[in-house]
């Protein structure tokens, strides 16, 4: 299988403005996405996700490194690249004063589709995205979720082989987010290659075959969701006590079962105990606590979430870095 | 397949279509553009005009109207700048740049649409002018020549507007920046007062100002009162100077705008 997207040592430097240092938005990004697969580019704001997408979609020139999309060089053969890609960005890039139908028609014609084919394709997409009735209204009257759907439809108008979705669900309410996921899953089942960026660990987990974790302009980990989780280390037993004052005592009692440092969360009366051995350890933990008369409200075996992956890899939680700096990402 | 089916011309037409579509959808824009100009007409024709004597006589209102046409067109660059800044801010320019379309089309489509829009506004203003006593005295051919000059100037101003729109961070700045540059340009000119009445230091500026030369050209072609400052070159040859201005300005601002568009990386 050949790679639909390849990037080698991509570097992007944003020039220093007065009083600030230059920003290395990308510091040697390597990526490869085999045809027909989904890569989730996961990282906090400012990590370099958007910059990567902008380079791969020919909107931005890299300061170093090389990238090909569909076998075409993104710098030397940018027009060929643009013919085979679809891009849907962070904000719905549609014309507010046109109707849904007119927006898609415009994008289709600019995609070099003939008039009659464009019209057919527009109707098809409006139906696919549940926008047939809204198609005759101007975008001003659309909800956030409808705008995103139309934006995505715009990216699909030319049947792109390779699709870039930059944070497709940021800012959507949970219901619209789930609807968007369904749409994206549908696309992927048609064999489209997809590069998706997200700050939501759950989203990458749901949609991507492979995940690349980005931080400070480099890829710090790559693999399937399971591989990444395995990298963090195995499972853990989580116990919630009825009486928070006995947290320290319980933690000491569980120490023999643990294969790492036990975490205590006072507020939630929770003990997290890294373990190995599956459900036997849960039974053992319950037994020990019961023997000492410590009442357990909840006990469960948990596998690591991508949240844990991020925490382990970067030493921070994904959400914590949200407000750090946005230079690389928003620019 | 014809050139209208795909390629740069087709792309530019689509963008023109898109920009024209929004005019009836945001009627406030056109209405306020016309109202603002009519307000200036009323203000100068009936409030200040009486206090402004024209050397060599003639109707002040006839003198005023060509200036109002030019002023309106000069301010139209703000509409262009705001529109472009808005497209940038909304990510629409990025969308266009990610499509396999001709990159020139976004800017040519925008500027052509804005000239068509200005032509419409000009018609309304000319009708308003007829009501307050403005007349075309030199026949149809010269009238059309003046209209062509006005629209050519509108095209130049649209390119300046595009460049400003691509250079500023948001629509508010686009509006303010065009206002502070265009406002003095229309007042240090022959639009509202005979240039001879200006202070001596400002007279050379007013004489060479493209707003003045275009206004003087229109007055000459329409056969309206056209008091000039003596024998200075631009006063003697307003049409030639206007054409040179148009060529020079477009030669500066179109490449600047195109370069800005290519390198834009927001």
- Measured CB to CB, residues of chain B less than 8 Å from chain A are 1, 5-6, 10-11, 14-15, 17-18, 21-22, 25-26, 90-92, 94-101, 105, 265-266
d(CA A313, CA A161): 33
pLDDT of residue A330: 38
A46 has pLDDT over 60:
yes
In chain B, the residue whose alpha carbon lies closest to the alpha carbon of A88 is: B95
Q: Report yes or no: A311 at the B interface, CB cutoff 8 Å.
A: no
How does pLDDT run across A229-252, given as a tens digit for each residue?
777 666 788 899 988 888 889 889
Report yes or no: A199 and A18 within 8 Å, Cβ to Cβ: no
Which of A97, A107, A110 lies closest to B25 in CB terms? A97
Mean pLDDT of A110-120: 94
Which of B21, B99, B265 lies closest to A97 in CB terms? B21
- For residue A170, what are the CA distances in angstroms to A15, A153, A174, A248? 28, 17, 10, 40
Which of B5, B22, B90 lies closest to A114 in CB terms? B5
In chain B, the residue whose alpha carbon lies closest to the alpha carbon of A97 is: B22
Report yes or no: A165 and A88 within 8 Å, Cβ to Cβ: yes
Query: Quick one: which of A26, A1, A37 has its CA closest to A195?
Result: A37
Q: Indicate which of B13, B95, B104 best probes the interface with A, i.e. most A CBs within 10 Å of its own CB.
A: B95
How does pLDDT run across A120-160, given as a tens digit for each residue?
999 999 998 889 999 999 999 999 889 989 999 999 999 99
Q: Indicate which of B86, B93, B100, B266 best probes the interface with A, i.e. most A CBs within 10 Å of its own CB.
A: B100
In chain A, the residue whose alpha carbon lies closest to the alpha carbon of B21 is: A98
Reduced 3-state DSSP string for chain A = CCEEEEEEEEEEEECCCCCCCCEEEEEEEEEEEECCCEEEEECCCCCCHHHHHHHHCCCCCCCEEEEEECCEECCCCHHHHHHHEEEECCCCCCCCCCEHHHHHHHHHHHCCCCHHHHHHHHHHHHHHCCCCCHHHCEHHHCCHHHHHHHHHHHHHCCCCCEEEEECCCCCCCHHHHHHHHHHHHHHHHCCCEEEEEECCHHHHHHHCCEEEEEECCEEEEEECHHHHHHHHCCCEEEEEECCHHHHHHHHHHHHHHCCCCCEEECCCCEEEEECCCCHHHHHHHHHHHHHCCCCEEEEEEECCCHHHHHHHHHCCCHHHHCCCCCHHHHC
| Alpha helix segments (H runs only) across A174-278 | 174-189, 201-207, 225-232, 247-254
Mean pLDDT of A111-118: 93
Contact across the interface for A106 and B14, Cβ inside 8 Å? yes
pLDDT of residue A310: 74
How does pLDDT run across A266-319, given as a tens digit for each residue?
888 998 888 877 788 888 889 999 999 888 999 988 877 667 777 777 776 655
In chain B, the residue whose alpha carbon lies closest to the alpha carbon of A329 is: B266
A329 has pLDDT over 60:
no
Q: Structure pTM?
A: 0.82
Q: Report yes or no: A219 at the B interface, CB cutoff 8 Å.
A: no
Contact across the interface for B94 and A89, Cβ inside 8 Å? yes
Chain B residues with CB under 8 Å of A138 CB are: 25
Report yes or no: A304 and A227 within 8 Å, Cβ to Cβ: no
Instruction: Report ipTM for this prediction.
Output: 0.87
d(CA A158, CA B140): 49
Q: How confident is the model at residue A116 (pLDDT cuts 50, 70, 90)?
A: very high
Chain B residues with CB under 8 Å of A97 CB are: 21-22, 25-26
B31's tokens: 């209405």
Chain A residues with CB under 8 Å of B98 CB are: 57-59, 82, 85, 87
pLDDT of residue A306: 66
Q: Report yes or no: A60 at the B interface, CB cutoff 8 Å.
A: yes
A4 has pLDDT over 80:
yes
Low-confidence ranges of chain B (pLDDT < 50): 1, 266
Report yes or no: B106 and B158 within 8 Å, Cβ to Cβ: no
Chain A residues with CB under 8 Å of B15 CB are: 110
pLDDT of residue A106: 96
Longest dimension (CA), chain B: 63
Q: Which residue has the higher pLDDT, B61 or A172?
A: B61
Contact across the interface for A154 and B95, Cβ inside 8 Å? yes
pLDDT, chain A, mean: 86
| Alpha helix segments (H runs only) across chain B | 8-25, 27-42, 60-89, 92-97, 104-131, 140-167, 171-187, 203-208, 210-222, 233-236, 238-263
Q: In degrees to the nearest 10, what's the CA dihedral of A108, A110, A112, A115?
A: 50
Q: Indicate which of B79, B94, B102, B103 best probes the interface with A, i.e. most A CBs within 10 Å of its own CB.
A: B94
A99's tokens: 């109707």
How does pLDDT run across A178-228, given as a tens digit for each residue?
888 988 898 888 889 999 999 887 888 889 999 999 988 999 989 988 788
Query: Quick one: which of B101, B209, B117 has its CA closest to B161?
Result: B117
Contact across the interface for A82 and B99, Cβ inside 8 Å? yes
Contact across the interface for A109 and B22, Cβ inside 8 Å? no
pLDDT of residue B262: 83
In chain A, the residue whose alpha carbon lies closest to the alpha carbon of B101 is: A110
């Amino acid at each position: 299988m050949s790679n639909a997207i390849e990037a080698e040592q991509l570097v992007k430097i944003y020039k220093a403005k007065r009083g600030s240092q230059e920003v290395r938005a990308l510091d040697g990004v390597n990526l490869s996405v085999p045809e027909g697969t989904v890569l989730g580019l996961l990282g906090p704001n400012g990590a370099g996700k958007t910059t990567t997408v902008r380079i791969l979609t020919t909107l931005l020139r890299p300061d170093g490194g090389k990238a090909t999309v569909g076998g075409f060089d993104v710098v030397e053969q940018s027009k060929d690249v643009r013919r085979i890609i679809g891009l849907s960005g962070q904000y719905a890039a549609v014309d507010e004063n046109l109707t849904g139908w007119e927006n898609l028609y415009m994008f289709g014609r600019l995609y070099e589709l003939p008039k009659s084919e464009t019209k057919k394709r527009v109707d098809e997409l409006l139906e696919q995205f549940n926008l047939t009735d809204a198609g005759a209204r101007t975008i001003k009257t659309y909800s956030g979720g409808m705008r995103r759907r139309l934006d995505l439809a715009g990216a699909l108008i030319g049947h792109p082989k390779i699709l870039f979705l930059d944070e497709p669900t940021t800012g959507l309410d949970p219901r619209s987010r789930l609807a968007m996921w369904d749409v994206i899953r549908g696309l992927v089942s048609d064999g489209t290659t997809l590069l998706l960026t997200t700050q939501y660990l759950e989203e990458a987990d749901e949609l991507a075959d492979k995940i690349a974790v980005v931080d400070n302009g480099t890829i710090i980990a790559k693999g399937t969701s399971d591989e990444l989780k395995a990298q963090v280390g195995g499972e853990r037993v989580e116990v919630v006590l009825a009486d928070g004052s006995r947290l320290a005592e319980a933690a000491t009692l569980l120490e023999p079962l643990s294969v790492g440092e036990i975490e205590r969360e006072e507020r939630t009366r929770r003990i997290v105990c890294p373990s190995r051995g599956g459900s036997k350890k849960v039974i053992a933990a319950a037994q020990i606590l019961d023997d000492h008369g410590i009442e357990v409200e909840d006990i469960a075996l948990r596998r690591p979430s991508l949240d844990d992956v991020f925490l382990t890899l970067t030493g921070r939680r994904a959400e914590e870095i949200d407000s750090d700096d946005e230079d690389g990402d928003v620019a | 397949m014809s050139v209208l089916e795909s390629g740069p011309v087709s792309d530019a037409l689509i963008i023109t279509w898109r920009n024209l579509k929004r005019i009836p959808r945001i009627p406030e824009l056109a209405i306020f553009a016309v109202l603002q100009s009519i307000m200036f007409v009323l203000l100068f024709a009936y409030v200040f005009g009486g206090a402004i004597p024209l050397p060599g006589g003639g109707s002040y209102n006839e003198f005023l109207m060509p200036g109002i046409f030019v002023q309106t067109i000069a301010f139209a660059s703000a509409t262009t700048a705001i529109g472009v800044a808005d497209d940038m801010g909304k990510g629409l320019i990025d969308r266009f740049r990610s499509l396999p379309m001709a990159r020139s089309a976004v800017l040519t489509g925008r500027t052509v649409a804005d000239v068509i829009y200005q032509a419409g506004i000009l018609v309304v203003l000319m009708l308003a002018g007829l009501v307050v006593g403005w007349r075309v005295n030199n026949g149809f051919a010269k009238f059309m020549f003046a209209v062509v000059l006005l629209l050519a100037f509108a095209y130049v101003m649209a390119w300046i507007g595009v460049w400003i729109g691509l250079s500023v961070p948001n629509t508010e700045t686009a509006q303010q920046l065009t206002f502070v540059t265009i406002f003095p340009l229309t007042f240090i000119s022959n639009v509202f007062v005979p240039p001879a009445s200006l202070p001596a230091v400002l007279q050379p500026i007013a004489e060479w100002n493209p707003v003045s030369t275009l206004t003087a050209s229109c007055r000459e072609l329409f056969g309206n009162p056209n008091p000039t400052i003596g024998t200075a070159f631009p006063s003697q040859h307003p049409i030639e100077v206007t054409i040179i201005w148009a060529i020079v300005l477009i030669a500066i601002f179109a490449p600047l705008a195109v370069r800005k568009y290519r390198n834009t990386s927001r």
